[in-house]
Structure 1
Amino acid sequence: MADGNTPMSFGERLRFYRDRAGMTRPVLGQLCGRSGEWVKGLENGGILMPRMHLLLRIAEVLGVEDLADLTGEQRLTSATYGKRRHEHADRIGHALAVFPIVSPDREPLSADALAANVRQAWMVWHGSPQHRTAIAAVLPRLLDDARTSAKLLEGRDRRNALASLAQVYHLAQLYFSFQPMHDLVMLTGDRAMHVAQDADDPHAIAAAAWYVNHVYRDAAINAEARIELAHQATRLLRPENDADRPLWGLMHLAIALSHAKTGRRGDAERHWGLAHDAAQTLDGHHPWLLFGKDMVDAYAVTMYADLTVAHEAVRQADRITIALPSATRRSFHTIEVARAYHLKNEPLATVHLLNKAYEIAPETIGYNLFTRAVLADLGAHGGTTVRDDARELAGKLQLPVAS
């Protein structure tokens, strides 16, 4: 990025990461609630580096993991603005990195028994307010069992075991997400896609495509590639087939969210509409992906928040009741509603909703970068009531509290 001799300015760094993301100035400006001319002014040095909440939004949009990479100021990298690391992350990372050499004499779990254990693990993930801590207790053994069964079983049983192994990698990816371990998030997504293809299972491939889309969408890279991947997965599915329809709708939801990240409102709304129509035909939701009416409605808030259409994000939030059968999903989508109100500059509603998200699943909000940033900002600059509430919640999350 630099020649090693001349330090890069903030504007030069911003231009580098914008070019890396393949994003124009108007699109970056729109996604930050500003204009293309504002971005040009930042890059040319005509406008000073913005305040922290805008810096964090730029970093989020461009997929910059460490603010110091964007600002050049190491002092800005702190527990307040950085990502939190779970206490068992190294142990889970070790379990992922070590490939057991499987003895042919070892007795593998049957494909059915493995699938039952994976279903139980999803119940743990979705059901516990402390979902990372809960899943960390079972992931190492689950990884070992799934890789062993996928190695030793044969025929249809092996393909079913591979599909279960893909789900275990999804759980590992979710565990590592929103932690400063981006390489392991990428690794788990890649491995899940490979084993899903080895299983020759369209549903497993589509689920892997959903999680790969998460990886690249959060990193703000390869927009066209991730959209094309989801399109390819839809071609493996038949929407008229009851079993295929949830995965087909999920792919269109993935496409909608990717378009929203790059500011393409018309495309985002069109594909969200296809996902919505598919969800309306379902009774309930997918057992572990949770695709259904509630999920599609909740992600409408995310879509419009990413498009920075604040009034529509709030309108969508006001028309729905988040009733997803998952503590972590309910907490996440409550945070997204808070983000929508933050875009409307309504700090009281923002902090109130963040407190609700904390009550639902403390570990979800504790690892959320928006939450950590907005509490720091409101704790320092909010009005008296907002400032006190923001500082109280920051204390519960063990974040540094502004003095």
Structure 2
Amino acid sequence: MPVPATPDPYADPLAFGQRLRILRTRRGVTRDQLGGLVARGGAWVKALETGRLGIPRFDLVLRLAEVLRVRDLTELTGDPSVPVPLFAGPGHPRLAAVRAAVDRLTFAGDREAPPTAQLTARLERAWAARHASAHHREVIGARLPELIHDAQLTVRQAASAVERRAAQSALSESYSLAQFFLAYQPDAALLWRVAERGLVAAQESEHPHTIGVAAWLSAQAHRDAGPPHSDAADAVTTATLSYLEPLLPDASPDLIAITGALTFEAGHTAARRTDTGTAWRSWDRAREIASRLPEGYFHPVTSFGRAVMAAHAVTLAVELRQGGEAVRQSAASDATPIPSRPRTARHRIEEARGYHLDGQPDVALAVLERAHERAPETIAYNGYAKAIVLEEAQSKHAARRRRASTLAVTLGLLAA
């Protein structure tokens, strides 16, 4: 039997350092990059990988798992007693139906397609339902299979070039909705299929706003794939902003908002690279764009608007590992509520990360409890939240350990 060139990190008996090296190499991350992202250095990572240092503290193990985006702590530790899914949970009950809808071949004669206007109205209702629901994946997962199929039919049966472009726009938006459902689900290949199809349909639509939304989601997919893909994320945002910015003088609020969302996205990617100057300059530019929007405006896909800029500042500070700045920005962000349950919950998770970085774990747990109250499905699939809860469930402080353990049981991370 041939011996594989690269060992399998899931096969025993591999030491922690060997697993770390294999997973880091597969991610395309250098030792210096990985060390910098966990506030250590390349020499520290090398010492772990070569066995000169043993397994680090649990919080550092979680941070390494977070950066490498491993599916389960067992992949990194080799210890089957801690099989904790971090960035990919067990999968939502509606995942199989959504996957089948994406993979299904649709032909023009399946049945009569609905008018594009009807699809657009259904999509508007779906986005509104998502923002209003504590169980947003359930809400959109129930709608997606039929929406995707109907949008594909409408494209196939379009009678003119104009109708086809409008139908492509609705199809692209259906894929955009699917990407929100697929975030943190255990099917990366499906997410990429949806992202690519959405971008192709958007380009076929020739509709600037649709192209902007698809590009925004594509950039996020690249950014979240890890440091080797940050250049691809930048390429998407840079090219799309070059296309959209000349249109701004006469743009609708939706087009202004997607331009602002993409501008912030460039800053978010820069923060992941710890490029502080670019990150905050992008945030300043996005804030200026947000100021052009009507008071109370809220973009239905990206959540961009004046209300979200303070939350974006928290995110940048957290990604830059600036705990004190994240806490300061958190205090400012509470002055303007975000009109979306899942977006508010995600903001709470970012706040919790900031408090945790700042050495305030009790506040971080309290904020995560608020996130769970607002939108349980958001926190249940979020790796950053899980990492904080699991770390504090091992705390030496009894009260904190009990509080974190109770939350871990609620999230399904620990048995009751």
TM-score (norm 1): 0.92
Residue 2 of structure 1: aligned partner:
6
* Alpha-carbon distance change, 16 to 270 in structure 1, aligned in 2, over 3 angstroms: farther
Which piece of structure 1 moves more, 77-86 or 162-171? 77-86
The alignment status of 1:290 with 2:297, answered yes or no, reads: no
Q: For 2:398 and 2:79, how far apart are their aligned partners in 1?
A: 30
Q: Residue 121 of structure 1 aligns with which residue?
A: 126
Match of 1:394 in 2: 408
Residue in 1 that maps onto 2:251: 242
After superposition, the Cα gap between the structure-2 partners of 1:80 and 1:66, relative to the gap in structure 1 and judged at 3 Å, is: closer
Retained in 1: the 8 A contact 2:87–2:184? no
Asked whether the 8 Å contact 1:111–1:160 carries over to 2, the reply is yes
Q: Decide which moves more: 233-242 or 115-124.
A: 233-242
Mark the CA change 1:395 to 1:77 in structure 2 (over 3 Å): closer, same or farther: closer
Matched, 1:351 2:365: yes
Q: CA deviation at 1:288?
A: 2.9
Match of 2:342 among 328, 345, 370: 328
Alpha-carbon separation, structure 2, partners of 1:82 and 1:97: 21
2:232 to 194, 200, 225: 225
Distance 1:273 1:26, change over 3 A: farther
For 1:33 and 1:288, locate their aligned partners in 2 and report how far apart those are by CA, in whole Å. Answer: 34
**1:179 paired residue among 157, 173, 185:** 185
Segments of structure 1 that go 5 or more residues without pairing to the other structure are none
1:191 aligned partner: 197
Which residues of 2 match residues 33-52 of structure 1 at below 5 A?
33-52=39-58
How many angstroms does 1:17 deviate by? Answer: 4.2
Shift of 1:260: 1.0
User: Hey, what's the Cα distance between the residues in 2 that align with 1:71 and 1:390?
Assistant: 21
Residues 209 and 229 in structure 1, CA contact (< 8 A), matched pair in contact too = yes
Which residue identity is paired with 2:325? E
Letter in 1 for 2:182: F
Distance 1:373 1:339 in 2: 10
**What letter matches 1:252 in structure 2?**
T
Partner-residue secondary structure (3-state), 1:138: helix
Change (3 A) 1:361 1:298: same
Partner of 1:310: 323
Give TM-score, length-normalised by structure 2.
0.89
Aligned counterparts of 2:263 and 2:14: Cα–Cα separation in 1: 40
In structure 2, the residue matched to 1:270 is 281
How far is 1:33 from its partner? 2.5
The question of whether the paired residues in 2 share the 8 Å contact of 1:375 and 1:394 is answered with yes
Match among 95, 98, 116 for residue 92 of structure 1: 98
**209, 220, 232: which one aligns with 1:214:** 220
Whichever residue aligns with residue 237 of structure 1, its letter is L
User: Larger deviation: 358-367 or 37-46?
Assistant: 37-46
Following TM superposition, by how much is the alpha carbon of 1:76 offset from its aligned partner in structure 2, in angstroms?
Answer: 4.0
In 2, Cα distance between equivalents of 1:399 and 1:3: 29
Aligned with 2:165 (options 136, 159, 177): 159
Greater length-normalized contact order (CA 8 Å, ≥ 6 residues apart): 1
Give, in whole Å, the separation in 2 of the partners of 1:268 and 1:195: 30
1:256 aligned partner: 267
Gaps of 5+ in 2: none
Identity %: 33
Does the aligned pair in 2 maintain the 1:108–1:149 contact within 8 Å? yes
- Following the alignment from structure 1 to structure 2, what is the Cα–Cα distance between the partners of residues 269 and 367? 28
- CA drift at 1:35: 3.1
The answer on whether the counterparts of 1:202 and 1:237 sit within 8 Å (CA) in structure 2 is: yes
Conserved in 2, the CA contact under 8 Å of 1:61 and 1:261? no
